Amino acid sequence: MDALGWLIFLVALLVSVMLHETGHFVAAKRFGMKCTRYFVGFGPTIWSTWRGETEYGIKALPLGGFVKIDGMTSMDDVDPEDEARSFRRAPGWQRLIVLAAGSFMHFVLAAVLIFGLALAIGIENECTSATAPAQVAGLKVGDQVTSFDGTPVSTWTQLSNQILKVKPGAPVALTVLRGGQSLTLHTALADVPGHGSYFGIAPTNDKTTQIGTVSSCVPPSEQALLGNVFQRQNPIAAIRYVGTGFSQVITGSVSALAQLPAAVPHLFSQNRSSTAAGNVTSVVGAARETGQAVAADVGWQYKVSFVLLLVASLNIFVGLFNLLPLLPMDGGHIAVVIWERIKAWFARLRGRPDPGMVDYRKLVPLSFGIFLVLVVFGTMLILADIVNPVNIG
């Protein structure tokens, strides 16, 4: 199961990378730019085929992928007959869309995963107070609810409907069977944003009112027996959950990026988890956590939820990181296009001709320097996750 988790993560990572390249590819094609290659992986070619002017194929090393668009920079050699369809000859706004399309696909994938999770599987309940309404009432695992707020109930659906009818904070009485005896309990329902009235219980199955879980806020000794509660959301609540997820990941990503300089000295220290280095991980660390989650002795909902949220978070982070105005990332190329347009605008104000494209030969040392820093730090982070791992789950 642990190996299965690794495989799931690696496949998800490869799909994410190829969606990124697909974003560039589709946008470039849409604007009539000439795309000559679309490949999965790197290294020697295993298989390829031509469709029109584009070669599609698979490389030996499934570590990513790439798209070849003619004339991406001023240094690229382009056949004179294809120059008009090159990337560098397209209007600035079209080039910006093509460059941003990769990160856009990451954001779309993350939004779909989070939305689907909330809609189809549900969100794990987390009580905002020390005790849930069910605990206040004294409800116990194995109790069978026979009446709620004066209305007899015999199925879980009936009970759920009655719970949602009661306003949060309003007092409520319920009758339960416990050990063959009938008891009347009292409490007041809580309010969960996006859900409404919340009682803090889950059934032993979907057909009876016998209680299988009393909230997720239970004493540690009972958590192993009760498990977690997931509640499916309606489409509006699921959309709100997408917004919440993006907000949390963006905030966390900005914080993690700001802590990178402080994290480097502690990557290999024994107390890594308690330092800034404990907040950053590589694909190796993320893959290991996915493997552990899949292999864990927990419910399938927790496993699927963890994997989907991890993949979604990774895509949001990669999408944001790729937009940083640093070459050779897309954000660096976006910054170059914007600078070209700013220079062209000032030239028009002065009645002068467009100065044209930035000479990328002057940017090569800067681009190579940043690339080298990313490679060195990435390698250090991978090594740290192998010899000095941190549990992120």
Q: Is residue 340 annotated as part of the catalytic site, yes or no?
A: no
Q: Which of 21, 53, 124, 340 is catalytic?
A: 21
Instruction: State the DSSP H helix or E strand holding residue 256, giving kind and residue range, or none if neither.
Output: helix 235-258
- Angle value at C-alpha 165, between 164 and 170, nearest 5 degrees: 95
Count other C-beta atoms under 10 Å from residue 203's C-beta. 19
Report the alpha-carbon distance of residue 281 to residue 192 in Å, rounded.
32
| 248 membership: H or E segment, kind and range | helix 235-258
C-alpha count within 13 angstroms, C-beta hemisphere, residue 39: 21
Cis peptide preceding 328, ω within 30 of 0? yes
Which helix (H) or strand (E) covers residue 326, if one does? none
Half-sphere exposure of 214 (CA within 13 A, CB side): 19
Q: What is the spatial distance between Cα 259 and Cα 252, in angstroms, rounded to a whole number?
A: 11
Write the DSSP assignment of 109-122 as a string of letters. Answer: HHHHHHHHIIIII-
**Which residue in this structure is represented by tokens 């909330």?**
118
Q: Which residues contact 125 (CB under 8 A, 6 or more apart)?
A: 192, 198, 200, 215, 216, 228, 229, 230, 231
Distances (CA, A) of 74 to 77, 88, 151, 332: 8, 7, 75, 15
Contact yes or no for 158/191 (Cβ under 8 A): no
Taking 3-state DSSP, the helix, strand and coil percentages for the chain, each rounded to the nearest 5, stand at 55, 20, 25
Q: What is the C-alpha separation between 375 and 157, in angstroms, rounded?
A: 55
CA distance 54 to 28: 12
Pairing between β-strand 211-214 and β-strand 230-231 as defined by DSSP bridges = unpaired
CB 64 within 8 A of CB 283: no
Which residues are catalytically annotated?
21
